[in-house]
Amino acid sequence: MTNNIVILGSINVDRILHIAQLPQPGETIKMTQLDLAAGGKGANQAVAAARSGAATTFIGAVGTDAEGRMMHEQLVANGINVDHVAQVADMVTGQAYILLQAGGQNSIIINAGANALVSPALVAQSEAVFEQADFVITQFETPVAAALAAFDSARDHGVTTILNPAPASDQPQDDLLRLTDVIAPNETESARLTGIKITDAASLTASAAYFHQRGVKAVIITLGEQGSFLSYAGQEQRVPAFRVDAVDTTAAGDTFIGAMVSQLRPDLSNLVAAMTYASKASALTVQKLGAFPSIPTEKAIQSFGQSAQQR
Is 60 annotated as belonging to a binding site? no
Q: Catalytic: 254?
A: yes
Residue 248 annotated as binding site: yes
Burial bucket for residue 28 (CB in 10 Å: 0-12, 13-18, 19+): exposed
Whether residue 30 is annotated as binding a ligand: the answer is: no
Could you tell me the sign of the dihedral formed by the alpha carbons of 214, 215, 218, 220, in that order?
Answer: negative
Q: Is 68 annotated as a binding residue?
A: no
Choosing from 65, 175, 254, 267, the catalytic residue is 254
205 in Cβ contact with 219 (< 8 Å): no
How far apart are alpha carbons 95 and 97 in whole angstroms?
7
Asked if residue 10 lies in contact with residue 60, where contact means CB atoms within 8 angstroms, the answer is yes
253 is in an annotated binding site: yes
- For strands 218-222 and 228-232, give the pairing: antiparallel
Q: Is 81 a known ligand-binding residue?
A: no
Is 224 labelled a binding residue?
A: yes
Tell whether 44 is in a known binding site: yes
Residues 6+ apart with CB under 8 A from 84: 57, 58, 59, 60, 122, 125, 126, 129
Residue 305 assigned as binding residue = no
Q: Binding site: residue ranges?
A: 12-14, 40-44, 141, 186, 222-227, 248, 250, 253-254, 285, 288, 290, 294
Q: Binding site for ATP: residue ranges?
A: 186, 222-227, 253-254
Residues carrying an active site annotation: 254
Q: Binding site for substrate: residue ranges?
A: 12-14, 40-44, 141, 254
Q: Binding site for K(+): residue ranges?
A: 248, 250, 285, 288, 290, 294
